[in-house]
Chains A and B, each alone.
Chain A
């Protein structure tokens, strides 16, 4: 079966750095997405990785290792507004998105 694993919840301090991991086992691979979702709101796109390596976009970076079935989202200089759930999703061989359950990130002052 297809599976995406992420930690359920993480806590970090304002101004710090946090890394959210995602491991996956899917039927084929056509890219990995990270989305941010604030409570009660729609998911919004953060990043896309299809090749191995690091993609940097401001305070957020995303890393992919296809051989290990592994990705992480790195958030720097954490702000209170970063408190949200972070969803990892993999596009499989049929180009359908398989979603992880999400990681709830709690930022403390």
Chain B
């Protein structure tokens, strides 16, 4: 069964600190992996998208890594800001014609002053 699992489920950090979120998946065949940020009451916004051949991709203070061999990804947030408080969702796309996305349950991040 194709699944995407994220950890931790929730995380509280102090403003200015770094943090790393984890994502493990069993989706096959694999097309790409995306990290989204979802603010409360809003739709998901794409942070990064990586294909099989990409190991790392950055978007400002967000850096995503992908190990396609172990089927693991991480999202590292540097110098966190209060506005980083949100849910971060790992999403994997199957390599088929359906273009369906398989969602992780998300990590709820709270950045405190």
Binding between chains A and B: no
Interface residues, chain B, CB within 8 Å of chain A?
Answer: none
